[in-house]
Amino acid sequence: MPLPPAFKENADWKVARPADQAIRGRWWEVFHDPQLDALEAQIEVSNQTLRAQQARFLQARAAIAINRSAQYPLITTAPEITRGEQSGNRPNATVHQTVSDFVLPVDFSYELDVWGRVRQTVAAARAEAQASAADLESVRLSLHAELALDYFELRGLDAERALLDNSVTAFERALELTRNRFTGGIASQADVALAETQLETTRAQAVDIAVRRSALEHAIAGLVGKPPSALQIAPLPLTEPPPDIPAGLPSDLLERRPDIASAERRIGAASAQVGIANAAFFPRLFLTAAAGLESRSLSSWVSGLSTFWAAGPAAAYTLFDAGRRRAVSAQTQAAFDESVAVYQETILRSLRDVEDSLSSLRVLREEADVQASAVAAAERALTLATNRYRGGVVTYLEVIAAQSAALNNQRAALSVLSRRLAASVLLIKALGGGWDAASLQTVKTETR
């Protein structure tokens, strides 16, 4: 799969300095938020989705041992003790005869893996287990990222609630001023009504935030494996911008994205399935043997005359199957081609994910600078409008307009900050978090 030498968005991207910002296994620690760290740690212990995926991985790893057992001989025994009456019309028999039969057989069977069918089966199971291990890391990365996204959105709501509460306090003072001016005959009843409207509207907006915050808190509770009633997250408004995240090179994704590793290992599994299908065109060769003891009486069961044995090679070959093996071979080849296409599509999607996140962060950083200027201008306008109103130059309608503009720009600035943090989380997720494909080698070693 040809890869670009660099990300398009890297041209204006500042590489993180110092090196302690590098993404590691516990990648959420780059945000330096102890509350987030504590919540993320609970996913490994209590998240049921992660537990289910871990169980799927253990099933895939057990499948290796199941298929690998075919590389060794199969030894079975089926002891049998019977007693019955034989027909008197049997050959060489004139009367009914009651006989007993004591049998202790040991059967041996071993398939000679001349065409590699068994080896390919084991290879397919091992590749599937490694793909399952990568799937587990994909689920883990998605869960941690989802928790971080919900957490930063919740903190953004906390910051917005704090802003609205401060605005309510300021609007209460403005209402008191307006009422005093009305009492003194300077302001009109309409000015008082406008101030009351602005105050109550802002209060309603502050109350409405509680609904969205509760939903996010409940979602986080589900991610950490707790009922909603058992989790209470203390309000903590956003204050700091996100850290710089090094994007690295596009080729790094081949090692750091678990979904790419999963798609690549499924190519290996599909390739092994092609080998298994091709081995079906050749005969299966076996070595078989049987030995044991058989006697009509228990007293003579262990005597030398009771022993028996048989040994020899065997072969199994399908002479006619109406094209079934060719169809299976074509099917496995098509499945292999599909896995290659999925692998390449996964790489393209990962490149797009990184570019999208880098672009979002660049644009949002520029927007944050512009929005900060807008907030400063709106606050200056509010100060001027309030002073002009106190001087009797303008009506309270101009103050209301300035208050609304200042509040809207402050909320927009908080929204940009929250979106920047979310884009940082999505960038880390697009880069594969702190995972590395080298960990799949551990899986391979453990499952040999």
* pLDDT tens digits, 107-142: 999 999 999 999 999 999 999 999 999 999 999 999
pLDDT at residue 21 above 50? no
pLDDT single digits (tens) 352-364: 999 999 999 999 9
**Alpha-carbon dihedral 361, 364, 365, 368, rounded to 10 degrees:** -160
Asked if residues 413 and 372 have their Cβ atoms less than 8 Å apart, the reply is yes
Structural domains for the chain: 8-72+115-282+324-446 (1.20.1600.10), 74-112+283-316 (2.20.200.10)
- Retrieve residue 131's tokens: 């793909």
Cβ neighbour number for residue 124 with a 10 Å cutoff: 23
Name the helix (H) or strand (E) containing 398.
Answer: helix 396-430
Please compute the mean of the pLDDT values over residues 205-232 and round it to a whole number.
94
Contacts 24+ apart (CB under 8 A), 294-297: 294/101, 294/102, 294/103, 294/104, 294/105, 295/101, 295/102, 296/99, 296/100, 296/101, 296/102, 297/100, 297/102
3-state secondary structure of 376: helix
Percent of the chain at pLDDT exceeding 90: 68
pLDDT single digits (tens) 40-52: 999 999 999 999 9
Asked if residues 332 and 245 have their Cβ atoms less than 8 Å apart, the reply is no
DSSP for 123-140 reads HHHHHHHHHHHHHHHHHH
In sequence order, what are the residues at sequence separation of 6 or more whose Cβ sits closer than 8 angstroms to the Cβ of residue 58?
A: none
Q: How confident is the model at residue 255 (pLDDT cuts 50, 70, 90)?
A: confident
Bridge partner residues of 288 (DSSP): 109, 312
3-state secondary structure of 430: helix
Bridge partner residues of 290 (DSSP): 107, 310
In sequence order, what are the residues at sequence separation of 6 or more whose Cβ sits closer than 8 angstroms to the Cβ of residue 73?
A: 108, 109, 110
pLDDT value of residue 282 = 94
Four-residue CA torsion sign, 10, 152, 435, 66: negative
